[in-house]
Amino acid sequence: MEPFAWQPAASPSEAASIATHTTAEAMLTLTGRPDTQQAMLIKAGGVDLLDLMKEGLVNPGRLIDISRLPDLDGISGEPDGGVRIGALATLARIAAHPALQQSHAALSQAAALAASPQIRNRATLGGNLLQRPRCWYFRSAAHHCLRKGGAHCFAFPGDNRYHAVFANQGCAIVHASTPATALAAYRAEVELADSAGHRRRVPLADFFVLPQADMHRENTLARGELLTAVWLPPQKPDCRAQYLQIGERAAFDWPLAAVAAVLDMDGTGHCRQASIVLGAAAPVPWRARQAEALLAGARIDSATAAAAGEAALAGATPLSQNAYKLPLLAALVRRAVLSAAAIDTVLPANPGAP
Amino acid sequence: MANEHRKEDAAAAGRIAGPAPLPIVLRVNGETRELMVEPRTTLAEALRGPLGLTGTKIACNHGVCSACTVWLDDLAVASCSVLAIEVGERRITTIEGLAGQDRLHPVQAAFIDYDAVQCGFCTPGLVMSCAALLARNPRPDRKEIETAISGHLCRCGTYPHVVQAMLALGTREEPDLE
Amino acid sequence: MNDEFPRRREHFPVGLAHLGLETVEREIPADEPPALGPNAGLRQIGKNAPRWDARAKVTGAARYTVDVSLPGMLHAAVLRSPWPHARLRSIDLSRAAAAPGVHAALTVAEPPVSGKPIVLRYVGQPVAAVAAETPALAQAALQLIDVRYEPLPFVTDPDRAKQADAPAVYRKPELDKVPSAGLPASAAVYPLSGNVLGPESRNSRGDVATGFAEAAVVVDGTYRTQVQTHCCMEPHAIVASWHEDGLDVWMSTQFTAGVRVQLARHFGLPLSRVRVQVQAMGGGFGSKSQMGVYGRTAVSLSRLAGAPVRLVYRRDEEHMDSGNRPSSEQHLRIGARSDGTLTAISLHSHGSAGIAFGAAPGGIASALYPCPNMESLHYDVFTNAGPSCAMRGPGNTQGAFALEQSIDELAEKLALDPIVLRDRIDPSPVHREERRMGAERIGWSQRRAPASDPGPLKRGVGMAQSLWPANVQINTACEVRLWRDGSVEVLSSVQDIGTGVGTVLAQVVAEELGLEPAAIRVRIGDTEFPSGPPSYGSRTTASITPPARTAAWRVKEAFFRTIASAWQVDAHTLIVQDGSIQVRNDPQRRISWQEAAAALRTDRISATAGRADDYAGFRYRSGDAAMALNDLGGAQFAEVEVDTESGVIRVLRVVAVHDCGRPINPRQIESQVQGGVLMGISYALMEERILDSHTGWMLNPNFVDYKVLGPQDAPEIDVVLLENYQGFSASDAYGISEPANIATAAAIANAVYNAIGVRIRSLPMTPAAVLQALGLVPGGRH
């Protein structure tokens, strides 16, 4: 790590006003060497930022620490039945939160499967959502890839076994956040604050951006903005949810494929509305709209679940080495739907699941 | 306690430190220690370097192997992924401070009894994770133990004996020694 | 056997203890101790003494090389090649050497032939190094090295490297400088065609064409194994202190004595002025056996700076440049008569050890099941990748994956149970007993036909046989000292890399002296003590425990002589028991150990013993190394569950039945076998070094994308240990580390076949590979 100065922030708005760049902006260079040494960056848990700094991928001149700011880590039920999760709430607290386990089980399940207990004790929800992609070319200082301002994508001609199977034109990263898959399935919103203290809420689906829209960042967070909270809308009483992921290791492995299914059941075995989101499949949490359409109004059984699994693959464009993700995603969707609908117990697809 | 933290933070807020080395105070193993660090110094580096507490090991330096596990207050964390400057008033417990002088924590004794140690490089971190689990759950089952240590890598393969040692502690059975 | 040395006859127990022992008479050197009875009658050997350094390790007190800090110590950093193949046009260290806090800078890379330009052949190859007052200053100074490279064409993929038009990694005249991943040898003796070196013909015999003509059944398959990195938790580390009296080195090494010899030769120092030490050591698995480039770099920097220098690799440096297990591509054909009798084995293999050679898949295919007609041809394929070195069961681990699947396939074609076939073609009664016991434990008789489970989760059981030579380092010595206060030390330069050899030494000495292991001070890992064996080749216990017992026995004899002369009795009538010495059958003539020691004429008495030849002779001997008459075996059984929709293989249970001669500390052996099995599962299911073929960089030089098995991936492991007495040495104990790793991947592959009815012939067996094998993966876009 290069030397940097340190400044604890007094308030979210102060942090937002001091920050000169987002981490994504600070990593953008024409030369392949971070040339924004004077960048002042916001740091929360620091899990991903320190990793990037150790690899020499970003060399900020100053870190503005928001990790000790008060009142940014609460998990609170809202009067309408929704939940607000402060951006500094750790994944460990989210995973272990009894009310969340009841109301938003898929989020608890996803949070419990991210990284390791040690990291979950430090990693904040905000930092997790804003972490940069895990693409090994992006993470290698030797590969000046498109997303860092370079002229080449190394994954297309190279090794793309862990890359995206949807919306992968131009840049084939997959979104790195495990909880984001579940949050997207719950149609969550992020709360953003600017230096003037104004707060706005943006649907997660609008917050995350595809490479086609902007190759150099994964979200619309602007310079001078802080992610302060995530809002989960209230769930209907008959809503049932399941998160599943598959990795090569049972723990501390970014998934090869993941799915979050939230089904609004009508009590007669039919699904009023379904939300199916795929993880590790696309540069953003990938909403499987055809699967959702197929499930809406349908009786949930193994045939509809299997059909939903196949429908979830619509529009997939696998690369040279990642077509295996398609059968994997189809199987996960089918199992998650059946499990959410309490028709079939979950097969032990991910042995690491609690 | 929490309010004190916040007062202290508020006082520190706005101050820019570094990048040159600066003095900080850490509460380590019940002692208050003063040391010089740069803002970029990780907690693991501070412990092993200026504080001389080399029981904490660095094996991957990216928070992936958990060899560097210490406690911040009661939470097991990867000390290579924490900056020394951000620890503040939180109590740090390292392997050296887990039990008193010349004494063994029950987890340490069980590790010896069940030979849950081979090369030993990952062992201090594993002991810290196991002791943290035991503190919040005196009778963990196999699954809970495996989850608590799921972030650890041990290339020698001590996992089965670690689990055996922890199960024995949970049931308070006498070690099954031949 | 030299007649001028006096010899005497002893009667040794032989056989497998649980089946009943017989006695064999052997003539042994007169200065070797009497035959040791079976473990059942012993007090310390065969018992689970606590690991000698466990307390230090669980409290964090254990001192590893990375923990060694000397006054005035500098920190080194290494500049590495960013190019997979490049000529070094120029290098100027002057700005780096003048940077604040920098005390030394030097070029590390050497020209292949003196006077020729330096050529760099893999990403991560050391180019230059600096020593500075802090690690950060050293790292910063690397950026001040002015270096110009001329990139050259390169190749990282072995399949591409085999093609005639592939860029050449080496030219013929450079071959004698090629590092060896196997036994010390020169690549220059083999033909080189493009990047393909060889063939090396090993153990070929008879005529395979005739053999295949006689066969009723032939199996034929191509097996591929990946590159695996060692992943020692303690990185490669050295602290070197060059001073006017010589050289002191602390090093995370598997062979203190050998590194001392290499350092002395390289730096032109007498052995007497080079000292190598290691206290706690954080794992080697074959990668820390040599002085290495990092070793000579740190020492050179220390000499240049006039100060101690510490060099510790980062994890990415570990992955790229500290050795690895070479890849293999094995085309194996086996022919058999209808009763199973083998008529021919043909193994044509290619393997890549990167810029090194020695990637042959071991001798298991020619040694495990005798066959009159054998053809084994191996070709090394050079690639622009980091050099391989030995890794736990080198060769045989790759070889077993092919051989043991082929044997299962053969059994199926012959309509024989895989164990029945092996019992017919494997002459070893020990192996047969291992298979019998393992089969019983795993419930082999309940094993079903392939793909019997109707649902998506399919279970299966499989097994594989392990084989490894029982290596012995003849150049091994051990000293035992008895002090006037009765305290006892055992001393050797042998190092404990996590195997527990220190515990074993204490047990062996304690047994001989009638003391408790905790009473024996173990002083090892220091070349100031008698030279011990390396900790590789599963030879440590076999090499060091016989001289340890012999030295203890000689000290005891000398001690007894002093007591006997005072008591005026025959020394041979004295026995030691529970800390007292007495005349046999005369409890009145009794003295405590301490009292007797107080009467020694000098402060201490001591004996140093060397490793005698095995009493029944060696099968093979070359220089310092030898092989015992019998091999080390082991049979491993695995039960797996394959999720045929996700491709995930879960290993549910492993039964590992092993022999290592006389077990000295069963619990430590169990630890080591578990470790071998877990490393084998990790190899089978997830590990793989991945290089980008367009840039030559390793894409996963970390623990995120290089996947090592974690606690939640570990199955239940049932370790069964045979007591196999052979009367070969004063301890009759042999090694275990490597045989425990060799059979695992093959056993899992056979179990996977039994589960899904599809044979997977490539490693690692990832979810993607399983889905592919099941035909579930649609054609990808290219």
In a domain, A90, yes or no: no
Determine how β-strand C477-483 pairs with β-strand C488-492: antiparallel
Q: Which of C498, C495, C519 minimizes the C-alpha distance to C509?
A: C519
Mean pLDDT of C681-704: 98
Tell whether C682 and C765 lie within a shared domain: yes
* Count of the separate structural domains present in chain A: 2
Q: Return the partners of chain B (3 or more C-beta pairs < 8 Å).
A: A, C
* CB-CB neighbors (< 8 A) of C59 in chain B: 55, 95-96, 98-99, 104, 108
Chain C, residues 16-55, CB within 8 A of chain B, namely: 47-48, 50-51, 53-55
**pLDDT tens digit string along C126-177?**
999 999 999 999 999 999 999 999 999 999 999 999 999 999 999 988 888 8
pLDDT band for B8, please (50, 70, 90 cuts). very low
Mean pLDDT rounded to a whole number for chain C: 96
Which residue would you say has higher pLDDT here, A8 or B172? A8
On whether any CB of chain C is under 8 Å from the CB of A164, the answer is: no
Domain final residue, candidates B43, B66, B94: B94
* Count of the separate structural domains present in chain B: 2
For B77, the domain range is 22-94
In a domain, C320, yes or no: no
The two three-digit tokens of residue C87, written as one number: 């000529």
Mean pLDDT rounded to a whole number for chain B: 90
In a domain, C526, yes or no: yes
Distance of CA A185 to the CA centre of its chain: 11
The CATH number covering residue B147 comes to 1.10.150.120
Helix (H) or strand (E) holding A243: strand A239-246
In a domain, B100, yes or no: no
Contact C47 B59 (CB under 8 A): no
For C723, the domain range is 428-470+630-773
Q: What is the pLDDT of residue C116?
A: 85
Tell whether B86 and B128 lie within a shared domain: no
Contact A248 C767 (CB under 8 A): yes
Tell whether B88 and B125 lie within a shared domain: no
pLDDT of residue C1 exceeding 60: no
The CATH number covering residue C453 comes to 3.30.365.10
Q: Return the partners of chain C (3 or more C-beta pairs < 8 Å).
A: A, B
* CB-CB neighbors (< 8 A) of C713 in chain A: 249-251, 351
In a domain, C9, yes or no: no
Mean pLDDT of C60-83: 98
Chosen for mutation from B42, B155, B167, B178 (greatest number of chain C CBs closer than 10 Å) is B155
Instruction: Note whether C156 and C110 are within 8 A (CB).
Output: no
The residue type of C9 is: R
Tell whether C106 and C246 lie within a shared domain: yes
Q: What is the pLDDT of residue C241?
A: 98
Tell whether C643 and C601 lie within a shared domain: no
Tell whether B89 and B113 lie within a shared domain: no
Tell whether B114 and B69 lie within a shared domain: no
pLDDT band for B6, please (50, 70, 90 cuts). very low
Contact B54 C63 (CB under 8 A): yes
Q: Across chain B, which distance is largest between two alpha carbons, in Å?
A: 62
Q: How far apart are CA A338 and CA A342, in angstroms?
A: 6
**pLDDT tens digit string along C558-608?**
999 999 999 999 999 999 988 899 999 888 899 999 999 999 999 999 999
Tell whether C222 and C263 lie within a shared domain: no
On whether any CB of chain C is under 8 Å from the CB of A37, the answer is: no
For A320, the domain range is 239-340
Q: What is the pLDDT of residue C87?
A: 97
Contact C60 B54 (CB under 8 A): yes
Domain final residue, candidates A41, A67, A93: A67
Q: How far does the CA of residue B31 sit from the closest CA of chain C (Å)?
A: 18
Q: What is the pLDDT of residue C55?
A: 97
Domain final residue, candidates C376, C407, C438: C407
Mean pLDDT of C47-62: 98
Q: Residue B5, class by beta-carbon neighbours within 10 Å (0-12 exposed, 13-18 middle, 19+ buried)?
A: middle
The CATH number covering residue A303 comes to 3.30.390.50
Contact C50 B115 (CB under 8 A): yes
Tell whether B75 and B114 lie within a shared domain: no
Contact C714 B160 (CB under 8 A): yes
In a domain, B16, yes or no: no
Domain final residue, candidates B94, B123, B146: B94
Cβ-based neighbour number of residue A213 at 10 Å:
11
In a domain, C36, yes or no: no
Q: Which residue of A has its CA nearest to C694?
A: A158
Helix (H) or strand (E) holding C469: none
Q: What is the pLDDT of residue C115?
A: 81
Of A253, A322, A332, the CB nearest to C707: A253
Q: Which residue of C has its CA nearest to B142?
A: C712
Instruction: Note whether C629 and C617 are within 8 A (CB).
Output: yes
Residue that the structure tokens 């044979």 belong to = C759
On whether any CB of chain B is under 8 Å from the CB of A6, the answer is: yes
* Count of the separate structural domains present in chain C: 4
In a domain, C515, yes or no: yes
In a domain, B99, yes or no: no
Tell whether C128 and C250 lie within a shared domain: yes
Q: What is the pLDDT of residue A342?
A: 85
Q: Which residue of B has its CA nearest to C134?
A: B49
Chain A, residues 14-73, CB within 8 A of chain B, namely: 14, 46-47, 50-51, 53-54, 62-63, 65, 67-70
Per-residue three-class SS string for C1-22:
CCCCCCEEEEEEEEEEHHHCCE
Q: How far apart are CA C235 and CA B60, in angstroms?
A: 9
Helix and strand numbers (H, E) in chain C are 19, 33
Per-residue burial over C563-602, b if 16 or more Cβ lie within 10 Å, else e, is bbeebebebeebebeeebbbbeeeeeeebebeebbeebee
The CATH number covering residue B35 comes to 3.10.20.30
On whether any CB of chain C is under 8 Å from the CB of A332, the answer is: yes
In a domain, C432, yes or no: yes
In a domain, A165, yes or no: no
In a domain, A262, yes or no: yes
On whether any CB of chain C is under 8 Å from the CB of A251, the answer is: yes
Tell whether C177 and C273 lie within a shared domain: no
Distances in Å between the Cα of B24 and the Cα atoms of B51, C136, C540 are 12, 20, 48
Distance of CA B40 to the CA centre of its chain: 20
Tell whether C489 and C561 lie within a shared domain: yes
In a domain, B1, yes or no: no
Tell whether B123 and B163 lie within a shared domain: yes
On whether any CB of chain A is under 8 Å from the CB of C674, the answer is: no
In a domain, C419, yes or no: no
* CB-CB neighbors (< 8 A) of C671 in chain B: 115, 118, 156-158, 161
* Range in A306-320, B3-17, C234-248 with the lowest mean pLDDT: B3-17
* Range in A67-76, C37-46, C105-114, C752-761 with the lowest mean pLDDT: C105-114
In a domain, C759, yes or no: yes
In a domain, A210, yes or no: no
In a domain, B47, yes or no: yes
Domain final residue, candidates C561, C592, C627: C627
Q: Which residue of C has its CA nearest to A168?
A: C781
pLDDT band for B1, please (50, 70, 90 cuts). very low
Q: What is the pLDDT of residue A165?
A: 98
pLDDT band for C183, please (50, 70, 90 cuts). low
Report DSSP state, residue C518. G
How many A×C Cβ pairs under 8 Å?
A: 116
Residue that the structure tokens 């009943």 belong to = C20
Q: What is the pLDDT of residue A35?
A: 63
Helix (H) or strand (E) holding A349: none
In a domain, A13, yes or no: yes
Of A4, A9, A54, the CB nearest to B13: A9
On whether any CB of chain A is under 8 Å from the CB of C370, the answer is: no
Tell whether C123 and C251 lie within a shared domain: yes
pLDDT of residue C454 exceeding 80: yes
Chain A, residues 242-301, CB within 8 A of chain B, namely: 250-252
Tell whether C738 and C669 lie within a shared domain: yes
In a domain, B7, yes or no: no
Chosen for mutation from A72, A116, A124 (greatest number of chain B CBs closer than 10 Å) is A116
Q: What is the pLDDT of residue B177?
A: 43
Over its length of 354 residues, how does chain A's per-residue pLDDT go in tens digits? Answer: 999 999 999 999 999 999 999 999 999 987 777 665 689 999 999 999 999 999 999 999 999 999 999 989 999 999 998 999 999 999 999 999 999 999 999 999 999 999 999 999 999 999 999 999 999 999 999 999 999 999 999 999 999 999 999 999 999 999 999 999 999 999 999 999 999 989 999 999 999 999 999 999 999 999 989 999 999 999 988 899 999 999 999 999 999 999 999 999 998 999 999 999 999 999 999 999 999 999 999 999 999 999 999 999 999 999 999 999 999 999 999 999 999 998 866 555 554 444
Q: What is the pLDDT of residue B7?
A: 42
Question: Rounded to the nearest 5°, which phi and psi values hold at A240?
Answer: -130, 145
Q: Which of C534, C479, C485, C473 minimizes the C-alpha distance to C509?
A: C479
pLDDT of residue C656 exceeding 90: yes
Residue that the structure tokens 């890359």 belong to = A163
Distance of CA C89 to the CA centre of its chain: 39
